[in-house]
């Protein structure tokens, strides 16, 4: 019971924290005339909060130990690169350890990388960067960036690659896919789906078909994954098959919450299909694929993490949904306001059920020391 109480209180505190940060960002927007004002301060603040954290995240302690001991196992940066295909985080561990040696160096470096890339993406591709930043925070992606470190870096590289793909710079897209895959192999599975997404019709019928297809995949997902993990490159993921079989109801509820949330969001925008910009239509296509994976994750929870590659386009959809003439209308502003309210509810539920922070805690280098989840719970 104490564990569930801790989960509830952390989720409540985190949601309040998100509301305060979003409120400050929007307050800056009401004072400043520029649409882009405030986002740099927003990401700088979140980067600092992430950089000084201790015992926050699903695999925090594993990342910490690997970073602290990396020089015991590798003699040079070249050794880390040639050690395995998925060498990204190990090489980053080694480089940061050699350059700075700070015990929190890896988390500082990743916080800076994530914040700079996202700030750049929203500045370049969002009509309302403050709205995109707010949606990103409330929809759980800040939480994800502090937990799934390797995958989130891969997700950002794939997002950059997406924009190259849209401009038909396919060599750069392949390069971004390679960079993403050395951090997380799932990027190799995601890349073809990015291409496929462009062929999905943006209609209510397509939304229903995506949901139906996702439901059908629920039946055969395990046989498909068992075949996939026989491929040597993906064999390390075989361990997730057994752990997924014993996953608790909390994670199933998390997948259902995510599925309902994104289904409603897409449905809301499809009601105004004639007014949607072409960029928005493509973001909806991406979210539809993410929705399929989210539905299947009810049976195999870890697929929800693959869905994040597609769902991460939500902040751009909300900001760029309509053509430039309509995006400034009262209707569009009202819709964005309601979505932010809906996101606040989702923020609490996602934090409580997703399991993306096994500590359900936020400490800093000032008041805590790194320990495993088991040690932390037994305190």
pLDDT in tens, 204-239: 999 999 999 998 888 887 777 777 767 766 666 666
Q: pLDDT category, 178, cuts 50, 70, 90?
A: very high
231 strand-pairing partners: none
Asked if 359 and 376 count as a contact pair (C-beta separation under 8 A), the reply is yes
Q: pLDDT category, 123, cuts 50, 70, 90?
A: very high
The pLDDT of 232-247, averaged and rounded, is 60
pLDDT in tens, 75-100: 899 999 988 888 899 999 999 999 88
Candidates 287, 289, 299; CA nearest to 261 is 287
What whole-number distance in Å separates Cα of residue 342 and Cα of residue 322? 19
Q: What is the pLDDT, as a whole number, of residue 46?
A: 95
Candidates 347, 192, 202; CA nearest to 269 is 202
pTM, rounded to two decimals: 0.91
Burial 294-305 (b: 16+ CB within 10 A, else e): bbbbbbbbbbbb
**Cα separations in angstroms, 38 against 34, 177, 243:** 9, 31, 42
Candidates 363, 260, 349; CA nearest to 8 is 349
Check residues 225 and 16 and name the one with the higher pLDDT.
16
Candidates 196, 177, 162; CA nearest to 279 is 162
Q: What is the pLDDT, as a whole number, of residue 243?
A: 58
Asked if 207 and 263 count as a contact pair (C-beta separation under 8 A), the reply is yes
Extract the tokens encoding 50: 């992430």
Q: What is the pLDDT, as a whole number, of residue 338?
A: 82
Check residues 12 and 340 and name the one with the higher pLDDT.
12
Check residues 33 and 185 and name the one with the higher pLDDT.
185
Q: pLDDT category, 45, cuts 50, 70, 90?
A: very high
Candidates 190, 196, 213; CA nearest to 311 is 190
Q: What sign does the CA torsion over 187, 354, 49, 72 have?
A: negative
Of the listed ranges 21-35, 204-218, 334-348, the one predicted with least confidence: 21-35
Q: What is the pLDDT, as a whole number, of residue 248?
A: 64
- Class of residue 183 by CB neighbours under 10 A (exposed 0-12, middle 13-18, buried 19+): buried
The pLDDT of 96-112, averaged and rounded, is 89
């Amino acid at each position: 019971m104490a564990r569930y109480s801790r989960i509830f209180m952390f989720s409540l505190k985190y949601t309040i924290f998100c509301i305060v940060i979003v409120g400050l960002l929007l307050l800056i927007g009401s004072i400043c005339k520029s649409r882009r004002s405030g986002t740099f301060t927003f990401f700088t603040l979140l980067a600092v909060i992430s950089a000084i954290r201790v015992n926050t995240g699903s695999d925090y302690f594993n990342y910490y130990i690997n970073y602290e001991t990396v020089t015991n196992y590798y003699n040079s940066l070249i050794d880390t690169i040639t050690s395995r295909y998925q060498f990204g985080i190990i090489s980053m561990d080694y480089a940061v350890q050699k350059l700075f040696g700070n015990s929190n160096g890896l988390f500082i470096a990743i916080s800076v990388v994530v914040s700079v890339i996202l700030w750049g993406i929203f500045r370049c591709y969002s009509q309302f960067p403050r709205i995109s930043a707010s949606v990103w925070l409330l929809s759980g992606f800040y939480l994800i960036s502090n937990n799934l470190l390797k995958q989130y870096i891969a997700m950002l590289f794939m997002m950059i690659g997406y924009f190259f793909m849209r401009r038909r710079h396919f060599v750069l897209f392949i390069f971004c896919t390679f960079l993403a895959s050395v951090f997380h192999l799932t990027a190799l599975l995601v890349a073809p789906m990015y291409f496929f997404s462009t062929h999905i019709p943006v209609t209510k019928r397509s939304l229903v078909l995506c949901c139906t297809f996702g439901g059908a995949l629920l039946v055969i997902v395990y046989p498909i994954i068992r075949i996939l993990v026989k491929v040597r490159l993906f064999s390390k993921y075989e361990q997730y098959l057994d752990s997924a079989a014993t996953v608790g109801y909390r994670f199933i509820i998390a997948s259902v919450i995510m599925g309902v949330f994104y289904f409603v969001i897409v449905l809301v925008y499809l009601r105004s299909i004639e007014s949607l910009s072409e960029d928005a239509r493509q973001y909806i296509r991406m979210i539809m694929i993410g929705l399929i994976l989210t539905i299947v994750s009810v049976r195999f929870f870890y697929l929800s993490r693959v869905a994040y590659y597609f769902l991460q386009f939500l902040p751009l959809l909300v900001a760029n949904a309509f053509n430039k003439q309509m995006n400034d209308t009262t209707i569009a502003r009202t819709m964005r306001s309601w979505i932010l309210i809906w996101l606040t509810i989702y923020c609490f539920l996602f934090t409580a059920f997703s399991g993306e922070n096994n500590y359900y805690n936020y400490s800093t280098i000032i008041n805590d020391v790194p320990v495993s989840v088991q040690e932390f719970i037994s305190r």
